[in-house]
């Protein structure tokens, strides 16, 4: 049974843990999901790849999530195992033939993504009759719109996308369009601009669109990055729906991940060694902290010191994980008090996205435990940066 504590610090004071501790806040995830589901004017598909912990998925379901963006048979199987008759969508544009057959015949999958004629051919050859399917063409996204650019690997250019839509209809399936602006997108207008481009492709194809999926990328706050409020993204999407005259028969969908779960999770690690401005931790990039290697994903960090508080001035640190591999390095600057010592615990906040799912046991490390905490989560503040850097933030730039 998972223990519950009032706060991560209370947990540290009682347990004095030697392994990393994942602090889950189901109540925070539940309310964050409810806000998104209520605000989005369509079906919000949670991107399972972001965090597949069963307790997280349960909290999302309790918050109103009924649709799941799945990218593999394993994810599809997990959702079907946990929920009765779930709405799953196979939104990976490249699938094995075995996965196509199994998802369709065993799990009742009827919505598939693609971005190439060869993938469409695979679907036709493996499924035969496509009249019960919705085939969603992934449109190539504009690059450099987000912290993590997802362009290049997937997506069809406009002419190919329009041609694929026509072929989907010719084969008897319902046509859809999707795109992904990139992970941690800081500009609400990126969605509006891509909706305009999708509308151009839709008009070029001449088909009646069954689905428009605007993908994921909805951001959260990190240290030095305070994105616009969710309401500004929803306003841009609503503007797009009106501008492109999206018919009521076209189902609008989205694939939120990070925005639903980041706040509901933090990780408590321990300092094993301080060497000048280098901190050696019992978790790292081969554990649950790989997302921190991306520029712009600076998770908030604070000291949890039983019986006391850190009082030193902020200085810059580099962080290293516990393995012997030099890749296990999270380059700074991470701004923390200068009186950190070996044995201190650190809480890393906003850690619900791309942490446990990327965890490995490399080099014999990787053990961790989980607890529930009753607080409202650990978010970044201006005070986590030196005063000289507080005017150089990325925030609330709705016109980008």
What is the per-residue pLDDT across 66-108, written as a single tens digit (0 to 9) for each? Answer: 999 999 999 999 999 999 999 999 999 999 999 999 999 999 9
Q: How much is the pLDDT for 1?
A: 82
Q: Side-chain half-sphere of 77: how many Cα atoms within 13 Å? A: 5
pLDDT at 151 over 70: no
Confidence of residue 296 (pLDDT cuts 50, 70, 90): confident
Task: Report the distance separating Cα 197 and Cα 218, nearest Å.
Answer: 19
Q: How much is the pLDDT for 81?
A: 97
pLDDT at 125 over 50: yes
Task: Dump pLDDT digits (tens) for 225-247.
Answer: 999 999 999 999 999 999 999 99
pLDDT at 15 over 60: yes
Q: How much is the pLDDT for 308?
A: 83
Contact 332, 316 (CB under 8 A): yes
| pLDDT over 70 percentage in the chain | 96
Average pLDDT over residues 322-350: 95
- The segment(s) of the chain belonging to CATH 3.20.20.10 are 26-261
Confidence of residue 310 (pLDDT cuts 50, 70, 90): confident
Task: Dump pLDDT digits (tens) for 357-368.
Answer: 999 999 999 999
- The segment(s) of the chain belonging to CATH 2.40.37.10 are 4-22+263-393
The pTM of the whole model exceeds 0.85:
yes
Q: How much is the pLDDT for 400?
A: 42
Confidence of residue 144 (pLDDT cuts 50, 70, 90): low
- Could you tell me the CATH superfamily of domain 4-22+263-393? Lyase, Ornithine Decarboxylase; Chain A, domain 1 (2.40.37.10)
Return the CATH class of domain 26-261.
alpha beta
Q: How much is the pLDDT for 6?
A: 98
Q: Which phi and psi (to 5°) does residue 118 adopt?
A: -65, -35
Task: Dump pLDDT digits (tens) for 174-221.
Answer: 999 999 998 899 999 999 999 999 999 999 999 999 999 999 999 999
Task: Dump pLDDT digits (tens) for 240-284.
Answer: 999 999 999 999 999 999 999 999 999 999 999 999 999 999 999
Average pLDDT, the chain: 94
């Amino acid at each position: 049974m998972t223990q519950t504590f009032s706060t991560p610090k209370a947990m540290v004071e009682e347990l004095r843990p030697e392994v990393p501790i994942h602090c889950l806040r189901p109540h925070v995830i539940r309310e964050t999901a409810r806000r998104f589901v209520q605000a989005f004017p369509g079906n919000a598909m949670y991107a399972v790849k972001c965090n597949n912990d069963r307790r997280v998925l349960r909290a999302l379901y309790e918050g109103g999530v009924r649709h799941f963006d799945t990218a593999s048979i394993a994810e599809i199987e997990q959702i079907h195992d946990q929920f009765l008759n779930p709405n799953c969508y196979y939104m990976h544009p490249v699938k094995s033939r075995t996965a196509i057959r199994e998802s369709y015949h065993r799990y009742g999958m009827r919505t598939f993504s693609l971005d190439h004629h060869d993938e469409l051919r695979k679907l036709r050859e493996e499924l035969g009759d496509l009249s019960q399917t919705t085939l969603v063409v992934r449109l190539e996204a504009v690059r450099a719109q987000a912290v993590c650019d997802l362009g290049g690997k997937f997506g069809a250019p406009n002419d190919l996308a329009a041609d694929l839509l026509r072929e989907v209809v010719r084969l008897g399936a319902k046509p859809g369009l999707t795109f992904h602006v990139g992970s941690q997108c800081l500009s609400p207008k990126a969605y509006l601009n891509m909706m305009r481009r999708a509308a151009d492709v839709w008009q070029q194809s001449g088909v009646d669109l069954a689905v428009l999926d605007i993908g994921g990328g909805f951001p959260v706050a990190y240290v030095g990055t305070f994105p616009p409020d969710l309401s500004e993204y929803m306003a841009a999407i609503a503007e797009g729906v009106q501008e492109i005259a999206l018919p009521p028969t076209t189902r609008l969908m989205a694939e939120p991940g990070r925005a639903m779960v980041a706040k509901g999770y933090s990780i408590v690690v321990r300092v094993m060694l301080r060497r000048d401005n280098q901190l050696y931790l019992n978790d790292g990039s081969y554990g649950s902290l790989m997302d921190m290697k991306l520029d712009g994903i600076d998770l908030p960090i604070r000291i949890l010191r039983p019986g006391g508080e850190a009082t030193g001035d902020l200085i810059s640190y580099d962080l290293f994980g516990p393995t012997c591999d030099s890749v296990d390095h999270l380059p700074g600057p991470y701004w923390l008090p200068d009186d950190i010592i070996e044995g201190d615990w650190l809480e890393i906040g906003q850690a619900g996205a791309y942490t446990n799912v990327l965890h490995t046991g490399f080099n014999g490390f990787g053990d961790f435990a989980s607890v529930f905490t009753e607080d409202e989560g650990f978010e970044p503040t201006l005070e986590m940066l030196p005063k000289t850097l507080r005017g150089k933030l990325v925030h609330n730039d709705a016109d980008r």
